[in-house]
Each structure stands twice: as structure tokens, then as C-alpha cells.
Amino acid sequence: MTTNSAAWILEPKAHPFVVKEAPTYTPEANEILVKNHALAIAPVDGGIQTRAWFPITYPAILGQDVAGEVVAIGPNVTRFKIGDRVIGHGAGFATKSIRDFAFQNYTVILTNMASELPDNISYEEGCVVPLGLSTASCGLFQDDHLGLQLPTEPRGVNSGVVLVWGGASSVGSNAIQLVVSAGYEVFTTASPKNFEIVKKLGASQVFDYNSPTVVQEITAALQGKTLAGALDCIGFVATPMTVEVVRKSEGNKFVSTVKPGFESPEGITVKHIFGTTLKDNHVGKAIYEDFLPKALKVGTFTPAPSPLIAGHGLESIQGAVDLQAKGTSAQKIIVTL
């Protein structure tokens, strides 16, 4: 490693990002240092820049999704070697350390939040996975959320239906595939233009979330089936509708949601997902080490949603964040390095 640069936010609500030198990092135990070749943009990045609603120390670096090449390994690391192609989830929002954020040339990644990337999958394609995968996994498999059986390759066999509200989103695209790999049936919602996309990912039934009768339609389809739980990937008006489906169905009265601030109504648990908590429990290793590398290699797990490349270089991050703020459908915005 020579020198490092990053796209910085120098103070709260500062616009644009400023590209300047960043520290160089040495990976510690169970960490790898990745030279980034592609970065992904998440809604949280623009939200923090414009509203400063998340407590971080300034000047700050943002970003969580990386795809690149291992350039250094820390003590106790045996899974990876220098030169390996990887994808990883930078845990900076949990660790509060700039070394763990994505919007720079080099990022430190925990080994239980990193996966080998097969040669047939580009960095741009692979980069769409980590944050959505981690968030979905926390909501689906952690003991304090839905607690589903873990995904396996070959796929498991379990009974029950999981409702994934917002199946074409980043979290939803990963959730559908994870649930199917765990052996459950998936019902999901999407706009009609994305029905075929979510069916290809593995959903057995898809419902138009804009339909005024969508709750009744899903409830009717669940008659005679057992609901293993619900994952709301959208929040706001979606969570109350998800809760209503759960209320009217037989099974697990639990909704994992990506948005905070919802109270649990009587008889139903609604819990917010923080997408980095899997680093501290068995789910991180189960997903990033035991499941994902093999599933990517054999093609039973597909990077989704599709990448939309918004520019090249750290100087392109501001434009990419601004583009993401306008909204995307079945796509994730990428910057290459």
C-alpha cells in the first residue's frame, strides 16, 4: 500500500464531499485490508450528509459496500490471502472508526463480513451485495429477530412462508434469495414492472404494493399456510401494512423492519434492524463464510439488484449520492475506482 485518499465530509451537512488524503491502515486480528475497485451508495449516505441525523465524528468518511483486492491480512487470518478478490461490508457505523468505511481507496474489513468473489462476477456486480445481505440476514436469522433456520448450499428444507415487503429493493433482493436458500417459501411485494425480477430471485407469489387491496390479497393467499415471519425492507407506510398482514395470519407474529420508530402493537413484535450486528454473533460467519462463497461460486445466489455505474473515482461519489437521493428501482448505484 502506498498512500490513501478518501471522500470526506468535513463538517455536518457539508456539500460536496472533499477528496483528500486519508490515513494508511494496518489490519488487526481477523481483519483484511482491501484495495477498493468498486463502491456502492446507500440511502443512509445521502441522509447523513444532508441531515446529519446519525452521530458521527467530523471530518467523516461514509460508505459500507466494497469490492476489491486483498492487499494485507491481519493475525489469525487463514481464509484469505493477498491478491484475493473479495466483497465486504465495512462496519464503520458500528465501530465509529474511519478505517472501516468504504468511500476511500482502502478499507479494513472483518473476515466474518467478507466473502470471496468468483472470477466470473465483476467487482461492480459484487459490490451491490454486502449491506443489503447483512441487513436482510440480521432481520431474518438473528435470534432476537425472526430466528429462521440459516441458509445452506445445497438449499435447506423448512416449512412456512416469509413475507418480504419490497422485494426489488437492495435488502429485499438479498432477503428473497436467503429465505429460499434456507428452505422457506417467499411471498413478496413489488411494482408490476419488477414482478419478473423478484420471481427470478425465487419469490413464489408477488403482489403489487400499490394495490389498495394488497393487504387483503396477501392475507387471502396465506390462508392455510404458516407465516414464519415478515421482513419489511421499505418502512414508513409499508411497516403498518406488513403488521396488518401478520395480525391476520397464522404463525410468527414478528416483523423485522429497516426503519426505526415503530411501536409494537399488542400481540405483535416490530423490531428495527441494524445491519452490522451480525458481526458480533454466529450469523456473520454463517452468511459470509459458510454460505455465500459457495453459493456465489455455483450460481445459486446472484448479486442483486443490478448495478448502475454513476462514475469513476472518488470525485464521482457526490454525484452518485445525489443520484441515489432521487430514487432507484431494482438498481444499486456504483462508483468504480
Q: Are residues 178 and 221 in the same domain?
A: yes
Q: Which residues are registered as beta bridge partners of 65?
A: 40, 89
Q: Are residues 175 and 267 in the same domain?
A: yes
242 within domain boundaries? yes
pLDDT more than 90, % of the chain? 96
Q: Are residues 222 and 319 in the same domain?
A: no
Q: Collapsing DSSP states into helix, strand and coil, what is residue 295?
A: helix
Q: Are residues 157 and 235 in the same domain?
A: yes
Enter the DSSP assignment of 291.
Answer: I
- Is 332's pLDDT higher than 90? yes
- Of the three residues 272, 290, 324, the one that is the final residue of a domain is 272
278 within domain boundaries? no
Q: What is the CATH number for 56?
A: 3.90.180.10
Q: Are residues 158 and 241 in the same domain?
A: yes
For the chain, the average pLDDT equals 97
The rounded distance, in Å, linking the Cα atoms of 188 and 204 is 8
pLDDT band at 53 (very low <50, low <70, confident <90, very high): confident
284 within domain boundaries? no
279 within domain boundaries? no
Calculate the alpha carbon distances from 210 to 11, 189, 238 in Å: 39, 9, 10
Output the pLDDT for position 2: 75
Question: Rounded to two decimals, what is the model's pTM?
Answer: 0.97
Single-letter residue type at 108: V
Q: Are residues 158 and 88 in the same domain?
A: no
Q: Give residue-wise pLDDT tens across range 109-152.
A: 999 999 999 999 999 999 999 999 999 999 999 999 999 999 99
Q: Are residues 247 and 320 in the same domain?
A: no
177 within domain boundaries? yes
Check: CB of residue 231 under 8 Å from CB of residue 140. Answer: yes
Single-letter residue type at 211: S
Closest-CA residue to 142 (of 319, 328, 301, 285)? 285
- Residue-range definition of the domain harbouring residue 121: 4-129+303-336
- Is 81's pLDDT higher than 80? yes
Q: Are residues 143 and 124 in the same domain?
A: no
Domain total in the chain = 2
Enter the DSSP assignment of 262.
Answer: P
- Is 1's pLDDT higher than 80? no
Single-letter residue type at 231: L
Closest-CA residue to 244 (of 260, 232, 258, 234)? 232
294 within domain boundaries? no
Q: Are residues 266 and 141 in the same domain?
A: yes
Q: What is the dihedral of CA 201, 206, 209, 212, to 10 degrees?
A: 180
Query: Who's near 168: CB < 8 A, 6+ residues apart?
Result: 190, 191, 194, 197, 198, 305, 329, 330
Q: Are residues 89 and 192 in the same domain?
A: no
The rounded distance, in Å, linking the Cα atoms of 149 and 248 is 24
Q: Collapsing DSSP states into helix, strand and coil, what is residue 269?
A: strand
